A and B are shown apart, each in its own frame.
Chain A
Amino acid sequence: MKMDEQALIRRIQSGDEAAFEEIVSIYKHKIVNFLYQLTGDYERAVELAQETFMRVYFKAHRYREIAPFSSWIYTIASNLAKTDLKRRRRHNQVSLDDVQHRAYEDMLSTDNPERSGMEKNVQSALRGLHPRYRIPVILKDIEGFTQEEIAVMLKKPVGTIKARISRGRSYLKRELERAMA
């Protein structure tokens, strides 16, 4: 798969749109899910995912094969999410998209009430985490990257990433205990 991906990237770098479409179909669910976990807003996550893929196409010439392509695309996505979160915090926006987000959550809760109740607590606790801790926790525990890969993506030392993941998990544990009490 990785060898195919490298070939696809090389084709995208020479402007091949068919190769780009293939990359989009490979990564669309992962990137949308990742951005949803970060932002908590499904519509926003879809918009940011589209922007991520736009940047993948137009900045493909900047990609170096020293790191896996997945790290690079997740880096773009997390940078976009960070910028968006900062902007929204500043403006304190409440949009109609939040209504759809709640509708999506309601959809989840009708499927499996018991499990979804706990999931809601986890999601709520996750959203309470500062992005500095939230991003590494999501990348490690949900997306399955190694700490070394996350360190490269976020351009931080591995020790810093370990510390942030540990602190993020402690916070989640505390919040979940509080929710269950």
Chain B
Amino acid sequence: MEEYELLTRMERVEAPPGFEQRVMAQLGLRKQRRRKVRRLTLTLSTATAALAVVFISVNFLVLAPGSPDRMAGLEQDISPDFQADSRSTSRIHTIPITEALDFSGEIRQVTHEPRTIYILEQVSDRTDTRIIY
């Protein structure tokens, strides 16, 4: 096969002089660049991790919601009229309601929908009935 012979007898080119030195120099540069990138990546990940720790700490330790007992008395703060009404109807037997809230459950169930607020209001003038849930 003539073309095969021509291919095998083709003049071969060689690498230029100083090729090895060029390669070794480039190797040094690349290693330096990789070290810089690795250092930058480490710094960024450490900063991100520290930020995450601070955020979690602030959220759960500093800004944590109050105890269940305080929450139960909250309805009085919501409605100032409630206090006036309660004084005038002091002969009404008031049943204290203490509801323990499961905070971890609340967090798990967090959604992006608007929160539902339940306002308890006396709907009947009859005083001899107890509030039944």
- A residues touching B (Cβ–Cβ < 8 Å)? 17, 20-21, 24-25, 28-29, 31-33, 36-37, 42, 45-46, 49-50, 53-54, 57-58, 104, 108, 116, 118-119, 122-123, 125-126, 137-138, 141-142, 169, 172-173, 176
Contacts and interface: CB of A to CB of B under 8 A. Distances in A.
A116 B6 CA distance: 11
- Category for how many chain B residues contact A: 20 to 34
B133 interface: no
Interface in B1-58: 1-4, 6-8, 10-16, 19-20, 22-24, 26-27, 30
B6 A118 contact: yes
What does DSSP make chain A's interface, helix, strand, loop or mixed? helix
A72 B39 CA distance: 31
B12 A29 contact: yes
B16 A58 contact: no
Contact of B20 (A25, A42, A46, A119): A25
Nearest to A165: B4
A33 B13 contact: yes
A173 to B, nearest CB: 5
B115 to A, nearest CB: 54
Contacts of B23: 21, 24, 28, 50, 53-54
Nearest to B12: A33
A42 B13 contact: yes
23 contacts: A21-B20, A24-B24, A28-B15, A28-B20, A29-B15, A32-B15, A46-B15, A46-B19, A49-B19, A54-B23, A54-B27, A122-B6, A122-B7, A122-B10, A125-B3, A137-B7, A141-B8, A142-B7, A142-B8, A172-B3, A172-B7, A173-B3, A176-B3
